[in-house]
Structure 1
Amino acid sequence: MGDELDRLRSSVLDADGLVRALATGRRKGRPAPVVGGREVRRVELRVVDLKAGRHLQVVSYDATQAHTTNHRLGEDAEAAVDALLAQPFANWHVDTTAETLQLRVTKKGVPLLHTSGRAGTVEVSREHDRAKDRLLPEDDPVLVALGISDAHGRVKPTRQAKYRQVEEFLRLLDASLGEAIAQGQVRTPDAGDPLRIVDLGCGNAYLTFAAHAFLSRRLPVRMTGVDVKQQSADHNSRVAASLGIDADFVVGSIADAQLDRAPDVVLALHACDTATDDALDRAVGWGASLVLAAPCCHHDIAAQLRTAEAPEPYAMLTRHGILRERFADTLTDALRASLLRREGYRVDVVEFVESAHTPRNTLIRAVRTGAPGADAAREYDDLLATWGVRPRLGELLDRA
């Protein structure tokens, strides 16, 4: 992968042009990337001005915290970048003042590099002790309007968890959407035909508005929120009007809501129990290019496991209530992932926010490829035969 990595390396080490570089994920069949002796989930790089001169700052994130190191430009910075490029990261996203580079390593180890130019000028901050690198700063009008931040633009102490959830969601959305557009799996929108995103079960639309505020800086987007409560739609419409956001809010259930046009991206975050299945079914029916779903509760399969006879030698997985509930979570989402693969999506299941902040921290990310995953149907049928359950999503997709 010489030429692609050389191009990426050159952009990361361009001290005058680098805005930010981000490495995430791990390659198929490879161990987690290791930085400083710790397994990490992502690494961010930027150039900072210190008293000792200009340095390349590397912030690596493990399961619990961030770790920062600074490397003097020149041989030290080059060695640090080379060490990171040698790690099995699956994705690199590099923003410079002139262009954006996105590199994805396929399952077969093939690097795919996409570059796109930037329109207009980009302001670059080199301050070392700047505020934390937030996708939505605390004083963003959206956060103030939603009550996450106070009138002085500071996140309220009681809303810190919600703010972390918004930030982590935006990072996942940014990485997933950027990669999918770069690979041609999500269309490139324009002003006449913006990217259409629907948030199913949006509630008070925290993530609907946050996604619009973040994405609209770089892409034309049209947001639609769906919720069964008229009160939510009225509230969200007032917030949108106060912010000058042109968004739609539809009253109806996830299963029955009607949209003028099929969306490109479907979000379903913390839809309870089989409502997540309704959302995934709608996404498949619409042919959505990208789906992000964070399930909440798994009562349906858990109830079925209480009466189903567990196969040997796995009876202990369902004998005790707490183990049965946890296994039901895993089995339900494994079945959902298998079904989405069967329907022509590339699927992975990732951590949404750290479990220290919420137990509802699993996110199903699916990108439409149109090609069913190898053996996906067989894997799904085997799971059904083994555990004797009837997942709601399977019934919905097979009803025709």
Structure 2
Amino acid sequence: MNKVRQLLEESLTGGLYQMTLSGAAGEATGCSKKKIRPVLLKDRLLFQITAYRGTQVFHENHTAEEAAAILEADLLGSFKQLQIETTSFEATVLVSKKGKMTVRKKQRSVSEDNVKVSLSHNRKKRYILEEGRPVPFLVDLGVQTKEGKVITSRYDKFRQINRFLEFIEDIWPLLPKDRPVHIIDFGCGKSYLTFAMYYYLHELKGLTLEVTGLDLKKDVIVHCNELAKKYHYEGLSFLHGDIADYTGTDSVDMVVTLHACDTATDYALYKAMKWHAGVILSVPCCQHEVNKQI
């Protein structure tokens, strides 16, 4: 715990960009996530803790010492992961099922002098995939220019991708770290979110992945496989086929079904439960079967 306390003291300064507590250990607190950032109130440096409870959001401001104590208590009982971003380093604290804490820290290549932290209450939202930083698949899918600028007409897609990655950020602690993670994306379509998920979990988080995207559109599958090969995403592949007939595996860690139309969502959920998937991200889509009955 001394290492964690030392890390918190080092992080809770004006150089902090943001902390995120995720991986809620239980429902006792009713809080799914917390975010912490520095704010300047009447020339006094405080730390705003934002707690997410259901559809409600609560804000509290604390001194560095108070914030450190709250974070320590949360890691001891309520959350399994703490991510820290500062102007000089990035760090992650992981809590095992037995309560053991592991600290991983990586220095930033950009010096503190070149990074500005906003201490205002209403600052511009920071996305996981940042504006101005080109990401290859976003460029090829027409969301960004080669310089990393978000194309105006595709800004909604850019926001959608980043919002999806916030969900991936939340479930990351639940995925295995000691072996390849098997993920299936049913009804992947053009695969904006599939590529984003792979990029985040593999490129940014360092997980070994086996991701399969499945869709009925042959031309889309061919294009997605070409892009995966271009980026050397060896753990990412796309197949043409129907969800109901898919028998390519007996075990999956995570099932994603966001655009599976009509009863395809039902088949995807059935298979996810049959495979005992630890994580299911699903949005029912285009329920024509029910529509006919209505």
TM-score (norm 1): 0.55
Query: Is the 1:135–1:170 Cα contact (8 Å) retained in structure 2?
Result: yes
Query: Is the 1:98–1:117 Cα contact (8 Å) retained in structure 2?
Result: no
Match of 2:50 among 60, 70, 75: 60
1:135 aligned onto 2:128: yes
Query: Is the 1:200–1:267 Cα contact (8 Å) retained in structure 2?
Result: yes
Query: Is the 1:197–1:224 Cα contact (8 Å) retained in structure 2?
Result: yes
| Separation of aligned partners in 1, 2:105 and 2:215 | 36
Instruction: Tell me the amino acid that sits aligned with residue 101 of structure 1.
Output: V
2:261 is matched with which residue? 272
Instruction: Tell me the amino acid that sits aligned with residue 13 of structure 1.
Output: E
Identity of aligned residues (%): 30
| Separation of aligned partners in 2, 1:43 and 1:123 | 27
Q: How far does residue 22 in structure 1 lie from its aligned partner after superposition?
A: 1.3
Query: Is the 2:83–2:92 Cα contact (8 Å) retained in structure 1?
Result: yes
SS for the counterpart of 2:260 is strand
SS for the counterpart of 1:165 is helix
Instruction: Tell me the amino acid that sits aligned with residue 135 of structure 1.
Output: I
Query: Is the 1:26–1:90 Cα contact (8 Å) retained in structure 2?
Result: yes
Choose 1 or 2 for highest CA Rg. 1
CA RMSD of aligned residues (A): 4.1
Unaligned runs of 5+ in 2: none
1:43 is matched with which residue? 34
| Separation of aligned partners in 2, 1:21 and 1:161 | 25
CA deviations 1:230-282 (Å, max 9, x no partner) are 11111111222332322211110111134267432211113223211111122
1:95 aligned onto 2:95: no
Instruction: Tell me the amino acid that sits aligned with residue 43 of structure 1.
Output: K
Q: Residue 290 and residue 48 in structure 1: after superposition, are their counterparts in 2 closer, same or farther (change >3 A)?
A: same
CA deviations 1:68-89 (Å, max 9, x no partner) are 9986xxxx222355567889x9
2:11 is matched with which residue? 15
Match of 2:223 among 228, 235, 244: 235
1:79 is matched with which residue? 66
Instruction: Tell me the amino acid that sits aligned with residue 283 of structure 2.
Output: A
| Separation of aligned partners in 1, 2:56 and 2:109 | 28
Instruction: Tell me the amino acid that sits aligned with residue 28 of structure 1.
Output: E
Q: How far does residue 122 in structure 1 lie from its aligned partner after superposition?
A: 4.8
Mapping 1:360-379, distance limit 5 Å: none
Q: Residue 9 and residue 118 in structure 1: after superposition, are their counterparts in 2 closer, same or farther (change >3 A)?
A: closer
| Separation of aligned partners in 2, 1:210 and 1:156 | 17
Mapping 1:1-400, distance limit 5 Å: 11-15=7-11, 20-23=18-21, 28=27, 42-46=33-37, 55=45, 57-58=47-48, 60=50, 76-80=63-67, 90-91=78-79, 93-95=81-83, 100-102=92-94, 113-118=99-104, 121-122=107-108, 127-129=116-118, 132-138=125-131, 139-178=134-173, 180-181=174-175, 187-190=176-179, 194-216=180-202, 217-218=204-205, 219-246=207-234, 247-259=236-248, 262-301=251-290, 304=293, 306=294
Instruction: Tell me the amino acid that sits aligned with residue 239 of structure 2.
Output: V
Query: Is the 2:25–2:80 Cα contact (8 Å) retained in structure 1?
Result: no
Query: Is the 1:45–1:56 Cα contact (8 Å) retained in structure 2?
Result: no
SS for the counterpart of 2:92 is strand
Unaligned runs of 5+ in 1: 34-40, 105-110, 182-186, 307-400
Q: Which of structures 1 and 2 has the larger relative contact order (alpha carbons within 8 angstroms, sep 6+)?
A: 2
CA deviations 1:300-320 (Å, max 9, x no partner) are 44655x4xxxxxxxxxxxxxx
Query: Is the 1:21–1:92 Cα contact (8 Å) retained in structure 2?
Result: no
| Separation of aligned partners in 1, 2:161 and 2:248 | 25
SS for the counterpart of 1:21 is strand
CA deviations 1:2-41 (Å, max 9, x no partner) are xx8x9866643333797742135696365x66xxxxxxx7
| Separation of aligned partners in 2, 1:67 and 1:286 | 37
| Separation of aligned partners in 1, 2:292 and 2:98 | 44
SS for the counterpart of 2:222 is helix
| Separation of aligned partners in 2, 1:152 and 1:122 | 21
